[in-house]
Amino acid sequence: MFYRLTGVYQTDYAKDRALWPIPTDRWIALLLLAIAIAAPFIFQVHYVANYMLPWLIWSSAALALTLLMGVAGQLHFGFAAVMAIGAYSSIHLARFGVPFELALLGAGLISAVIGSIFGAAALRVKGLYLVMATLAMQYLVDWVIVNVPAISGGAQATLRTPDVSFLFIPLESVWLYYMALLWTVVVTLFVLNIKRSSYGRALVAVRDKDYAASIIGVSPFRYKLSAFFTSSFIGGISGAILAFCYYQAVTPEQFGFHVSIQLVAMVLVGGLGSVVGAYLGAGFVLLLPMILTNFVAGLGAMGILNVSASLLAHIPLMAYGALIIVFLLAEPLGLAKIYDNTRKYFLVWPFRHGQS
Amino acid sequence: MEYFLELLINGALTGLMYSLAALGFVLIYKSSGVPNLAQGALVMLGAYLTWYFTNAWGIPIFLGIAVAVVAMFLFGMLTERFLLRKMVGQPIIMIVMLTLGLEILLRGVAPGFLGAAPKSIDVGIDLAPIIIGDIFINRGYLVGAIVALVLVAASLLFFRTRLGTKLRAVSDDHVSSWAVGISVERAIAVSWALAGASAVAAGVMWGAEQGVDHNLAALLFPAVAVVILGGLDSIYGVVVGGLIVGILGSVIPGYVDPLVGGGTRDVVVSLIILLTILFRPHGIFGREDIERV
């Protein structure tokens, strides 16, 4: 096959840490990037705006969460609240007349600071208790957003995003997509590289056993907080991009508790701590329920299947719950592991065993 | 003063109803260490099944409840056998996510197949409140609180029986229980089945009060606050935690809601969870985990 490699032949650590250990990986990544850039010209506008655009933005949010949950091992069930903080701060900053570039940075910083408060719980507890603590904070943030009119614009209100331009390009039509693509590429490169830096290895040490990490001189205090800071920064900006490029009018419900669960599901279905997994998981969790509902609705319209409206409305929930259960039982390491198995198979194809 | 007393009494009764929903959580956590975040959905399913059996089969309500208890007993056992048993030894995030997946699935399945519109269960409780002096007491909550206390007492007695002693042994240490010939799997299955059965009680009482629909699954949140505050593995904790969550969740919103425009109950519940975790993670009566490298 086109990327055959019969074994691992690195002779120094620099090669072991290389971003692309196999040249073909780089070409595949570049090919995917080229397709993503050309997408508005190849695919119909409908598909780009309604499927690819949200997929990209949710992937960047899932990458931020996978950095926190997969690499640093801190469970977070309130990530939608962090994104909400980013979305609302960016809109308010942009409305004050702050340039969009600075508004994004400001939104990221505000989310990062508030997100680090979530991390304060992580310094004290872990595991189940951390899940509950972040969940409680999600409710608190939601309540503050809904009940402070200065933030949400009053109860039950939707807040429209103002027209903005990024680097002198007005953000509209196809540029919305490119903005999301640019952000996702930046986040991807960042997370890919963090995993092979000393910082990333320190996070992994804290994940594996924080006591042991502190014995060898890696401060859990510092790395847990900074993991929350970094990932909330990325999550906040992703929330802002989601608001500006996709929703264009935000309500508190768009960042509710169920969205947090959805993000965790993306990370788990994709595979904890994996960059490819974040993309695959986001795509799967986001698109599968949509496709299934359309499919069943289609069957109903053709008269093959008799489905009631209330059943149809609940298919996404069922599909998505079943998806989580099936993945956890059948492949706890997620789609990333399936991808990895396939890749390993083709590395030595047509032989059955390699040394990798 | 009357206003305060009314909030206090109704809060305490609501709190005991929360304990009813939280009891199953403790039963499962105590025996297997699994945090069952699907407990709210089990409560909803119990209410839906009761409604279905009484309406579709046209049987009297108490027979319907009995059939639902049997069905949920089996459902709990099957859940343990086919979902949770495969997760033994997996990291906690996997188990939490599995029960959440079950929660989401049930929240789709029950309203999807049995109808999403709110349904009513009539257990023959008079809607008119009991009036003592100037205080109005909700009759449904009063009955629910009594049922809760009865069930809690029953679980306390149960843990003194032969089977209950086995369950306590399992909760202490799985490996040692195997060593003395206790079937850990069966003990955990029994705890799931009991949790399913107690979910029917919670579902019927709450369903009679606020109608049967997907909102019953939202009981998970106060129930989690109750068990965190009381201690995840303590039956006494369920009653005490329930009373505290219920009273604070009724008195504080009673005075603060008019000032800030509503929804303070969720805030109080969140703060209870958060403060308990920050200051005393194992709760009032819970057993403290000691971690070793």
B262 CB neighbours in chain A (<8 A) are 147
Q: What CA–CA distance (Å, rounded) separates A233 from A83?
A: 9
A75 to chain B: nearest residue by CA?
B93
Lowest mean pLDDT among A142-156, B68-82, B149-163: A142-156
The pLDDT confidence band at residue B287, using thresholds 50, 70 and 90, is confident
- Which of B101, B111, B221 is nearest residue A324 as measured by Cβ atoms? B101
Task: Kindly determine whether residue B86 and residue A316, on different chains, have CB atoms separated by under 8 Å.
Answer: no
Lowest mean pLDDT among A37-51, A154-168, B168-182, B256-270: A154-168
Q: pLDDT tens, B246-273?
A: 999 888 888 887 777 677 888 899 899 8
Q: What CA–CA distance (Å, rounded) separates A19 from B47?
A: 54
pLDDT of residue A237: 93
Task: Kindly determine whether residue B270 and residue A211, on different chains, have CB atoms separated by under 8 Å.
Answer: no
pLDDT of residue B44: 92
Residue A8, pLDDT above cutoff 70: no
How many Å is the maximal CA-CA distance in chain A?
67
A316 to chain B: nearest residue by CA?
B108
Q: Which of A79, A211, A214, A325 to mutate to test the interface with B (most CBs of B within 10 A)?
A: A325
Neighbour count for residue B4 (Cβ, 10 Å)? 12
Rounded mean pLDDT, B221-232: 90
Average pLDDT, chain A: 84
pLDDT of residue A234: 93
Residue B70, pLDDT above cutoff 80: yes
pLDDT of residue B188: 87
Rounded mean pLDDT, B183-197: 88
Tokens of B193: 């089945």
Tell me if B217 sits within 8 A of B210, measured CB to CB: no
Residue B42, pLDDT above cutoff 80: yes
Q: Give A153 to chain B, closest Cα distance, Å.
A: 14
Domain membership of residue A9 (yes or no) is: no
Residue B167, pLDDT above cutoff 80: yes
Residue ranges per structural domain of chain B:
2-116+128-213
- Which of B269, B270, B277 is nearest residue A129 as measured by Cβ atoms? B277
Higher pLDDT, A340 or A187: A187
Average pLDDT, chain B: 86
Residue B292, pLDDT above cutoff 70: no
pLDDT of residue A354: 55
Tokens of A193: 């590289």
B94 to chain A: nearest residue by CA?
A328
Phi, psi angle pair for B212, to nearest 5°: -95, 110
pLDDT of residue A49: 79
pLDDT of residue A305: 67
Q: Looking at the 3D structure of chain A, how many domains does it have?
A: 1
How high is the ipTM of this complex?
A: 0.85
Task: Kindly determine whether residue B98 and residue A325, on different chains, have CB atoms separated by under 8 Å.
Answer: yes
Q: What is the CATH number of the domain that holds A223?
A: 1.10.3470
Q: How would you classify residue B90: left for phi > 0, otherwise alpha for psi between -120 and 50, otherwise beta?
A: beta
Residue B140, pLDDT above cutoff 90: no
- Which of B83, B260, B269 is nearest residue A325 as measured by Cβ atoms? B83
Domain membership of residue A339 (yes or no) is: no
Q: Give A134 to chain B, closest Cα distance, Å.
A: 8
Residue B86: HSE in the Cβ half-sphere, 13 Å Cα cutoff = 16
pLDDT of residue B293: 52
pLDDT of residue B235: 86
In sequence order, what are the beta bridge partners of B135?
Answer: B132
B87 CB neighbours in chain A (<8 A) are 328-329
pLDDT of residue A80: 92
Q: pLDDT tens, A309-336?
A: 777 778 888 888 888 899 888 888 888 8
Domain membership of residue A226 (yes or no) is: yes
Q: pLDDT tens, A53-111?
A: 889 999 999 999 999 988 888 888 889 999 999 999 998 888 888 888 888 899 999 99
Domain membership of residue A108 (yes or no) is: yes
Higher pLDDT, A156 or B250: B250
pLDDT of residue A6: 62
Q: What CA–CA distance (Å, rounded) separates A71 from A67?
A: 5
Buried b (16+ CB within 10 A) or exposed e, B249-259: bbbbbbeeeee
Q: pLDDT tens, A99-148?
A: 888 888 999 999 999 988 878 877 878 778 888 888 888 888 888 888 87
Q: What CA–CA distance (Å, rounded) separates A200 from A71?
A: 7
B249 CB neighbours in chain A (<8 A) are none
B97 CB neighbours in chain A (<8 A) are 264-265, 268, 324, 328
Tell me if B26 sits within 8 A of B227, measured CB to CB: yes
pLDDT of residue A4: 58
The pLDDT confidence band at residue A1, using thresholds 50, 70 and 90, is very low
A133 CB neighbours in chain B (<8 A) are 273-274, 277-278
Q: pLDDT tens, A236-262?
A: 999 999 988 888 888 888 888 888 988
Residue A7, pLDDT above cutoff 70: no
- Which of B97, B100, B107 is nearest residue A317 as measured by Cβ atoms? B107
A155 CB neighbours in chain B (<8 A) are 261
pTM, 2 dp: 0.87
Give the whole-number percent of chain B exceeding pLDDT 90: 17
Task: Kindly determine whether residue B101 and residue A311, on different chains, have CB atoms separated by under 8 Å.
Answer: no
Structural domain for A212, as ranges = 14-257
pLDDT of residue A184: 92
